[in-house]
């Protein structure tokens, strides 16, 4: 289970690093997917270790990514149908 937590740390950190280096944009799917998957990994390990504040914080982080990605997909779908 610890390896899942470390994967979450790596995914979230790589996303932020790439964003900071201007390799990806905050609006990119890759940034949102890194945050969603990283958050999911961190939620999993936090729940397993009964660290509920950490679990909730990462769950919120993950859902922000889901919301942003969903908005991007809806916007992109609306543009294609026009």
Query: What average pLDDT is seen over the chain?
Result: 93
pLDDT > 70: what percent of the chain?
Answer: 95
pLDDT band at 82 (very low <50, low <70, confident <90, very high): low
Supply the DSSP string of the chain, one letter for each residue. -HHHHHHHHHHHHHHHHHHHTTSS-TTSHHHHHHHHHHHHHHHHHHHHTT-HHHHHHHHHHHHHHHHHHHHHHHHHHHHHH-
pLDDT at 81: 57
Extract the tokens encoding 16.
Answer: 């932020």
d(CA 42, CA 3): 10
Q: What's the pTM?
A: 0.86
**Residues of the chain above pLDDT 90, percent:** 83
């Amino acid at each position: 289970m610890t390896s899942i937590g470390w994967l979450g740390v790596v995914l979230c950190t790589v996303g932020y690093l790439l964003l900071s280096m201007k390799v990806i944009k905050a609006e990119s799917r890759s940034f949102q997917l890194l945050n969603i998957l990283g958050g999911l990994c961190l939620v999993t390990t936090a729940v397993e270790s009964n660290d509920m504040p950490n679990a909730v914080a990462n769950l919120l982080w993950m859902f922000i990514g889901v919301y942003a990605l969903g908005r991007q997909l809806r916007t992109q779908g609306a543009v294609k149908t026009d």
